[in-house]
A and B are shown apart, each in its own frame.
Chain A
Amino acid sequence: MVTTVTVGLGSCGIAAGAKKTYEKIKTLQEESALDFKLKKTSCVGMCYREPLVEITDDTGTYLYGEVDADRAVEVIEKHVVQHNPIRDYIVYTDLFEAPENNFMNSQVKIVLRNCGFMDPESIDEYENRNGYQSIKKILSEKISCETVIDTILKSGLRGRGGGGFPTGMKWKFANANKSADKYVICNADEGDPGAFMDRSVLEGDPHSVLEGMIIAAYAIEATHGVIYCRAEYPLAIKRLNIAIRQAQERGYLGQNIFGFEGFNFDIYIKEGAGAFVCGEETALIASIEGERGMPRKRPPFPAVSGLWKKPTNINNVETLANIPWIILNGAEAYARYGTEKSKGTKVFALAGKVRHSGLVEVPMGMTIRDVIFKLGGGIKKDKKFKAVQMGGPSGGCIPEYLSDTIVDYDSVNATGAIMGSGGMVVMDETTCMVDVAKFFLDFTCKESCGKCTFCRMGTRRMLEILHRISDGQGKEGDLEKLEEMAIQIKNNSLCGLGQTAPNPVLTTIRYFRDEYEAHIKHKKCPAKVCRPLLTYQIMEDKCTGCMVCMKNCPVKAISGERKQPHHINEEICTKCGLCFSKCKFEAIMIS
């Protein structure tokens, strides 16, 4: 057997230097005429170990982590040439105990079944991994669209973009509206900061999304497909374009596809232009139509009157990537995973102060604590786990003591957060919850389309109060005012953005009220984040008088002689924190 060396070239891998690793291995191979096959793949989810290189030889498969160009030389030399695997660098293998075996083996990969296991730019590799078998099965066995919809209904699959509406039901509505032109839209406008699962799927397995769309088109009798992808994901767009071209060449897209008379379906990509609100389906439709992406009133729902006033079905990337697996393995196989009302698996993007940041796919019903500690490896630098933010700007912060909540739509909703698209940003004791609330509100305030007054002006007024609180100008009654405005905004906004915009504020007030009160009453930021509330002091016993802080201080607030302890004049100090970051002797104390 020929040894294969596969380099992970997803966006995160490339950012970590995987391209250099790939080039290095390629040069080595050419210079020394080494006999192995060099391949590319995408992200396997272990972003914290990037760049990743997988070697498969006669003895088995080994995944090497943190392979920069130098380490690549060593790995190729020892493993490929001398057949001597380097155990210290191996992070995952079936053959012996490796550091990340638990990370990989605790997951159930349905959506991510191909990500990191094949070359995303090769349709052959996709087909070798059961690709396009589901749609072929439907067509060859003449399974009716009603049966397809029924299968999806029975599987219990719910919309993975955040709404959680049953996908089968959505298809049923779209199928019921007859029209010569119908649209299937793939929502790949992943705007939620902190979520990157859709990017990974598009970069790692674009064909499964296309196949999901083709099956949806068959089920609802659609004729056109649009993928609305955010322009910030250039690699995803490039790989989607390659996939679409390959599918067209094989006759899987176009006229009479798969040789099935009368089954016409094409797909094109529409690049978003950067507006969070366009994740909302009516705003997304307006954006495709070339308008400002402003949501409109529903009904009529897109299933009745959507893109160009034709019946339209919109599904999220992750939802669509589930479809081929469900068709091939059956609804029961899918519904075996999960809880009563939330079936199957969910992909989470772990980020923030967690050791193993990356992508994980777990069955619904796992506890949040298990996701963060068993898969995520716990908190960086052994700090104290404080909260996890789920659902992005529409979600909320779940405190540590509620982290035994299981991940399913209803349990997460009960905490005041939402499942959302699956971002989990982990926060430790050094994260200030007022600052987090301010961050999200600042985001929704900027992204509000401006249609509804409560959302446009209300979020701004709330943000002003939060700014005041974190600047030490908070007043008695501010929290009550925030809560009152939050409810008004929720009740009086048209779309999901406005209705959920206050959630980060509401959940942080609900679970971290004492932290808000410390800011308002005692003018203190317990997490030491809000700068106006901090004071900087030099500890005389640690200061060596090296003068570095003095030279760097932009406002000349620091004085002192060489080799004598320095002093900060608090009246001049602007609390920029530069002295703290420049001091090599940890002599600056923040209080």
Chain B
Amino acid sequence: MRVARINTKENENLDDGLDLSLLDPIIAKHKGKKGSLIPILQGTQELFGYISRSAFEKLSMETGIPLSDIYGVATFYAQFRLHPVGKHVIKVCHGTACHVQNSLEITEALEETLKVKDGETTKDRFYTLESVACLGCCSLAPVMMISNQTYGKLTGNEAVKIVKNIKLAENN
């Protein structure tokens, strides 16, 4: 059970500055169709990078699906995030092949460099560090994926170098 995923902060800032009208086309496309809740949530996350409390409330109001149901589904699946993420999400693979080839070293090296823990976002909102179960590139283990680009046969140092280079390249 993904108990850890459930948001326990009570005083979340309600004014998150998101333009919720962007959700209208997604709602119009799926409203009333059976089995559409997951695509709606996927679309929402695609837009904002996460599913905000305000988005939950709007989706529930407009689709008529009870808030509890939407929340239940969103917290069940690993894909959905309830907090904003950085510009780039670093997904460090912790599948079996990566695990036996020391993927822990990658996560630890990145945690140290970025000064965040697994699952957290850097202060400048540039990177979010995540662990994922398997990216299916086991032959290149250990691997990580940053914004749909996969990097393989890593060491802690190389991972740090890649992360630093991406940031440098974008800041210039």
| A contact residues vs B (CB 8 Å cutoff) | 11-12, 14-16, 47-48, 50, 190-196, 199, 231-234, 270-276, 287-293, 308, 349-353, 357-358, 389, 392, 423, 425, 427, 431, 436, 439-440, 443, 446, 448-450, 456, 554, 576-577, 581
Q: What are 15 A-B contacts defined by CB distance under 8 Å? A: A12-B140, A193-B94, A232-B132, A232-B136, A233-B136, A271-B42, A273-B42, A273-B79, A273-B80, A274-B79, A287-B38, A352-B96, A353-B101, A425-B97, A450-B1
The yes or no answer to B100 lying at the interface (CB within 8 A) is yes
Chain B contacts of A449 at CB under 8 A? 1, 76
**CA–CA, A491 and B87, complex, Å:** 46
A111 CB to nearest B CB, Å: 16
The answer on a CB contact under 8 Å between B76 and A275 is yes
With A12-B137, A12-B139 already in contact, the answer to whether A273 and B96 are too (CB < 8 A) is no
With A15-B143, A392-B96 already in contact, the answer to whether A288 and B35 are too (CB < 8 A) is yes
Which one of B100, B141, B143, B152 lies within 8 Å of A431 (CB-CB)? B100
Which one of B39, B78, B99, B151 lies within 8 Å of A275 (CB-CB)? B78
The answer on a CB contact under 8 Å between B36 and A290 is yes
**CA–CA, A562 and B94, complex, Å:** 39
The yes or no answer to B118 lying at the interface (CB within 8 A) is no
A-facing mask of B57-95, CB < 8 A → 1, else 0?
Answer: 000000000000000110011111000000000000011
With A291-B73, A292-B73, A349-B138 already in contact, the answer to whether A193 and B96 are too (CB < 8 A) is yes
With A292-B73, A446-B2, A449-B1 already in contact, the answer to whether A357 and B97 are too (CB < 8 A) is yes
Chain A contacts of B97 at CB under 8 A? 193-194, 351-352, 357, 425
Which one of A271, A275, A289, A353 lies within 8 Å of B100 (CB-CB)? A353
Chain B contacts of A392 at CB under 8 A? 96
The answer on a CB contact under 8 Å between A581 and B105 is yes
Closest to B134 in A: A193
- Interface residue tally for chain B (C-beta within 8 Å): 43
B90 CB to nearest A CB, Å: 15
The yes or no answer to B22 lying at the interface (CB within 8 A) is no
**CA–CA, A72 and B72, complex, Å:** 51
Which one of B41, B94, B135 lies within 8 Å of A273 (CB-CB)? B41
Closest to B105 in A: A581
Chain A contacts of B133 at CB under 8 A? 191, 193, 276, 443
Which one of B100, B137, B152 lies within 8 Å of A425 (CB-CB)? B100
The yes or no answer to B37 lying at the interface (CB within 8 A) is yes
